[in-house]
Structure 1
Amino acid sequence: MTNKINIAVIGVGRWGVHLLRNFLAHPQVNVVAVVDPHPERLAAVKQQFDLDENVLLTTQWQDLKTVPRLTGVAIATPATTHYALIKDALQEGYHVLAEKPLTLNPVECRELCHLAEQHHLILMVDHTYLFHPAVERGKTVVQAGKLGDLRYGYATRTHLGPVRQDVDALWDLAIHDIAIFNAWLGQIPIKVQATGTVWLQGAGEQGSRGAEGKKDTNSPVPQGLADLVWLTLTYSDGFQAYIHLCWLNPDKQRRLGIVGSLGSLIFDEMSLSSPLSLLHGEFERQGNQFIPVNQKQVVLELEPGEPLQKVCSSFVVSILNNTPSEVSSGWIGTELVEILTALTASLEQGGKPIFLNVHQVSTLIISDS
């Protein structure tokens, strides 16, 4: 097949292995290099995928600069390494697919987006849920007005580990549900609030944010990595979404819903039989009573397909057409980092509302109201 592009995968840990698998299977891709600082990982993927001897396996990112006609890189390394790797890749002229979040700093995100535009390169973020068949179908349902007047949204994302030591539950888990709400509503929040509780990794422990390992007694929220976080997102039309996040809850849940005047749309990832359901139901007033009527559940059929495979294919199409992803561009990734940064500011101030300027999301205005 013509128009094959050469891709390198950087980082083959838990998620990078799946990126490698999908790019190896893509008919328009040649995987020409794999980079990982751990030699044992390189040996493992060489055996697992029976990689050709021509595929460069290296522990050094700089070795990619010797690879001829390298088109793009897929980066699945810790978020703290993203900025330097992505910037270097763009300056070398490579298209970039980066694991979420784009970086941990919104200023760095914007810089990378501008750099990609200046070099006419694709910068895409692997927000895999945005390519999930249930999320794609749900967006059409919401935006077609089938729920009536939208009232509120809710999401729960809980499990028993893994407990991160580099970021809190907010940065580990929230980005998925925020991305889904934004996509379904077609907008980003104008105000956010967050409160949290720290049990496992308090001030001074590994991974905590405490300055010099000391507890900040002036902070309404204990310094450390929050294990439990409650979020409120408020959108310009008054719609509010409430999100519950926890990584020490044995009750594993992956559930998100939007409630409207005519019914609710539920995305329950743990339900294998009906991950996306439309629950019809409304009230009929009889005197001073409100009687439920028109109640029924409709399980929505979904197009088959692995979300990550769609991510990889979208990256390839974007490169071949030289057109940024409409679903998960670097700018969309930047918006999400801006929102997480605002939520962190709220969390550290005990739930203080943080307003975001929707025309320039980077402008954060702290308000007491």
Structure 2
Amino acid sequence: MTNQIKIAVIGIGRWGVHLLRIFLAHPQVSVVAVVDPHAERLAAAKQQFNLDENILLATEWEALQQLPELTAVVIATPATTHYALIKDALKQGYHVLAEKPLTLDTAECLELCQLAEQQHLILMVDHTYLFHPAVEQGQGVVQAGQLGDLRYGYATRTHLGPVRQDVDALWDLAIHDIAIFNNWLGQVPVKVQATGTVWLQGQGSIGSKELTQSVSGLADLVWVTLTYPDNFQAYIHLCWLNPDKQRRLVVVGSHGSLIFDEMSPSSPLTLLHGEFEHQGNQFLPVNQRREVLTIKPGEPLQRVCDRFIVSMIENTPPNISSGWVGTELVKILSGLTASLNQGGQPVFFD
């Protein structure tokens, strides 16, 4: 199959340019087209990557129809455009790797997943963190019971920008931590709650069509609570208006805490051992020690792209980040949007 998988990259903005870089270097891929509505981006990419003259550079998606041997498309465009592009691509017989979120509407996600199955095509969502070596190893630690009885979890994802104008901080940031919690726990929430604050953009709309937020605008700060079937609760702090950049997620158990700290390149995954010993009427900390876990090397996005290629070659759905996984995450985000709009009222899932 070497050099036989012909791929088009749609959208080469901040994230799409990295996908283009990886697929251009992939030994089993031939990038045959790059599409972006901004001609200056196409020109910059051509110069940056010294693109072959045979690669089609186009500002319109429809230009791909002149490429009969195209196998797959990689979609890294704004989330509001995903549904129409992915549906069209699947109908034309292309496998699809789409940037997260799959769409902004649960019903649309379900339709796309069903269409992909009907067409016998791969639909994969780029939930990059699920391919991070630290997240992969963390799942093993949690599910092996090394933390003892799980108590609760918390995560913080803050930075000073970038401020989105199409979605709020919830839709922009929360999907990463929700995906990791779901992956580590092997469960999905049965109840969600969210509250938020708007400072910068007082008008706008977010979420699915039926859950549009237009009165209070786009929330810059969001607090999320996820409740899982076993009553484990995870709390997430999201803000794009905070210079204290954090990318940190923790699961706490009766025997210790597992910390994934992306801002600590020397020790991104740490296991803090420690528990209580009951002596009389006191609880005394015992067995305390810090263990930095060694993780495998590897660029998460490279692993995403590799999995997409393997899925096409072997015709096996990428279960870790399939369209169905993406749909579940959009369902959770839609529930959180409903809660946010209702001042933090809980939203329950069957």
| Short-chain TM bin | over 0.9
Which stretch of the first structure deviates more once superposed, 286-295 or 123-132? 286-295
Cα distance in 2 for partners of 1:225, 1:59 equals: 30
Q: Counterpart of 1:271?
A: 264
- Give the match's secondary structure for 1:327: helix
- Give the match's secondary structure for 1:225: coil
The alpha-carbon deviation at position 164 of structure 1 amounts to 1.1
Q: Counterpart of 1:361?
A: none
Q: Counterpart of 1:117?
A: 117
Q: Counterpart of 1:200?
A: 200
Preserved contact between residue 197 and residue 222 of structure 2 (Cα < 8 Å): yes
Q: Counterpart of 1:57?
A: 57
- Give the match's secondary structure for 1:202: coil
Identity %: 78
Where in structure 2 are the equivalents of 1:141-180 lying within 5 Å? 141-180=141-180
Please tell me the root mean square deviation across aligned C-alpha atoms, in Å.
1.4
Where in structure 2 are the equivalents of 1:215-254 lying within 5 Å? 223-254=216-247
Q: Counterpart of 1:296?
A: 289
Preserved contact between residue 3 and residue 30 of structure 2 (Cα < 8 Å): no
Cα distance in 1 for partners of 2:112, 2:319 equals: 17
The alpha-carbon deviation at position 165 of structure 1 amounts to 1.1
Cα distance in 2 for partners of 1:324, 1:305 equals: 22
Where in structure 2 are the equivalents of 1:1-369 lying within 5 Å? 2=2, 4-203=4-203, 207-208=204-205, 223-357=216-350
- For structure 2, the 5+ residue unaligned runs are 207-211
- For structure 1, the 5+ residue unaligned runs are 210-215, 358-369
Q: Counterpart of 1:362?
A: none
The alpha-carbon deviation at position 13 of structure 1 amounts to 0.6
Cα distance in 2 for partners of 1:78, 1:163 equals: 14
Structure 1-normalised TM-score?
0.92
Q: Counterpart of 2:209?
A: none
Cα distance in 1 for partners of 2:205, 2:88 equals: 29
Preserved contact between residue 202 and residue 208 of structure 1 (Cα < 8 Å): no
Cα distance in 2 for partners of 1:251, 1:258 equals: 21
Preserved contact between residue 32 and residue 56 of structure 1 (Cα < 8 Å): yes
Specify whether residues 349 and 151 from structure 1 end up closer, same or farther in structure 2 by C-alpha distance, changes over 3 A only.
same
Give CA deviations for 1:239-271 in whole Å, capped at 9, x if unaligned: 000000011111111100000000000000101
Cα distance in 2 for partners of 1:189, 1:114 equals: 23
Q: Kindly provide the amino acid, as one letter, of the partner of residue 269 in structure 1.
A: E
The alpha-carbon deviation at position 2 of structure 1 amounts to 3.5
The alpha-carbon deviation at position 4 of structure 1 amounts to 2.4
Q: Kindly provide the amino acid, as one letter, of the partner of residue 256 in structure 1.
A: L
Preserved contact between residue 248 and residue 261 of structure 2 (Cα < 8 Å): yes
Q: Kindly provide the amino acid, as one letter, of the partner of residue 322 in structure 1.
A: N
The alpha-carbon deviation at position 289 of structure 1 amounts to 1.2
Count of residues in Structure 1 that have an aligned counterpart in Structure 2 = 345
Cα distance in 2 for partners of 1:227, 1:289 equals: 43
Cα distance in 2 for partners of 1:272, 1:123 equals: 32
Q: Kindly provide the amino acid, as one letter, of the partner of residue 45 in structure 1.
A: A
The alpha-carbon deviation at position 285 of structure 1 amounts to 1.3
The alpha-carbon deviation at position 94 of structure 1 amounts to 0.1
Q: Kindly provide the amino acid, as one letter, of the partner of residue 178 in structure 1.
A: I
- Give the match's secondary structure for 2:82: helix
Structure 2-normalised TM-score?
0.97
Preserved contact between residue 161 and residue 241 of structure 2 (Cα < 8 Å): yes
The alpha-carbon deviation at position 288 of structure 1 amounts to 1.1
Cα distance in 2 for partners of 1:4, 1:186 equals: 36
Preserved contact between residue 7 and residue 29 of structure 1 (Cα < 8 Å): yes
Q: Kindly provide the amino acid, as one letter, of the partner of residue 328 in structure 1.
A: S
- Give the match's secondary structure for 2:9: strand
Preserved contact between residue 2 and residue 29 of structure 2 (Cα < 8 Å): no
Preserved contact between residue 208 and residue 223 of structure 1 (Cα < 8 Å): no
Q: Kindly provide the amino acid, as one letter, of the partner of residue 78 in structure 1.
A: P
Cα distance in 1 for partners of 2:37, 2:202 equals: 30
- Give the match's secondary structure for 2:285: strand
Preserved contact between residue 3 and residue 27 of structure 2 (Cα < 8 Å): no
Runs of 4+ in structure 1 over 3 Å off: none
The alpha-carbon deviation at position 208 of structure 1 amounts to 4.8
Give CA deviations for 1:99-149 in whole Å, capped at 9, x if unaligned: 000000000000000000000000000000000011000000001010000
The alpha-carbon deviation at position 199 of structure 1 amounts to 1.2
- Give the match's secondary structure for 1:313: helix
The alpha-carbon deviation at position 222 of structure 1 amounts to 6.2
Cα distance in 1 for partners of 2:87, 2:162 equals: 30
The alpha-carbon deviation at position 272 of structure 1 amounts to 1.4
Cα distance in 2 for partners of 1:2, 1:244 equals: 44
